[in-house]
Amino acid sequence: MTRTITRSYGDYDTARSVVERLEESGISSSNISIVGRDSKAGETNAEEGAGIGAGVGGAAGLLAGLGMLAIPGVGPVVAAGWLAATAVGAVAGATAGGLVGSFIKEGHDEDEANYYAESVRRGGSVVSVRAEADQVLNVEAILDGAIPLDRTERTAQYRKEGWSRFEESAAPYDREATTSSRMTPPVV
């Protein structure tokens, strides 16, 4: 039985290295997906969906198929794999629920799906793997070896900030604006 295992990471470079390790261990690139923010990719060609794998991810395997797309509520992301294809269909109106719907379709519950979508919106990256029963332990070891974000801790942090669920209609998260709005003005 196939199981989908997903982890979120604070930066694209970590997620990219996880994908590389998964492929090196024999996991087929057709069973791996990555969606995230990569500052080196830029945001100017998000609508083009052009393959940028060689420039930001590598020249072989899944990373060679990286492309840019814009996801409602998230903004421009680097994406590849079956999860990206589902999200593209959702963006085009072919699938209800966008990124959250893509995670739910792969077997995640609604809370998990909202968390993963929100972690991408806030600048993180997600790696998701379809694993057969005999691959689960290896896949989990690779995903967890890169020290993913702690979902319980991050969800609590998001909720403390007023978040309850991912909102496709929300503007993409602006970390700098959020950080500066939390800063207290100097006392004069």
In this prediction, residue 181 carries a pLDDT of 42
d(CA 50, CA 29): 19
pLDDT for res 50: 39
| C-alpha count within 13 angstroms, C-beta hemisphere, residue 185 | 2
Smallest Cα–Cα separation from 62: which of 38, 83, 47? 83
pTM: 0.79
Question: What per-residue confidence (pLDDT) applies to 174?
Answer: 65
What are the DSSP E strand ranges found in 21-144?
32-36, 67-71, 75-80, 125-131
Distance, CA of 17 to CA of 158 (rounded, Å): 26
Mean pLDDT, each 10-residue run in order, the chain (188 residues)? 95 94 95 85 46 42 76 76 66 54 90 93 94 97 97 96 85 58 40
Is 108:4 a contact under the CB 8 Å cutoff?
A: yes
**Residues 42, 103, 145, 20: is their CA dihedral positive or negative?**
negative
Q: Are 40 and 56 in contact (CB under 8 A)?
A: yes
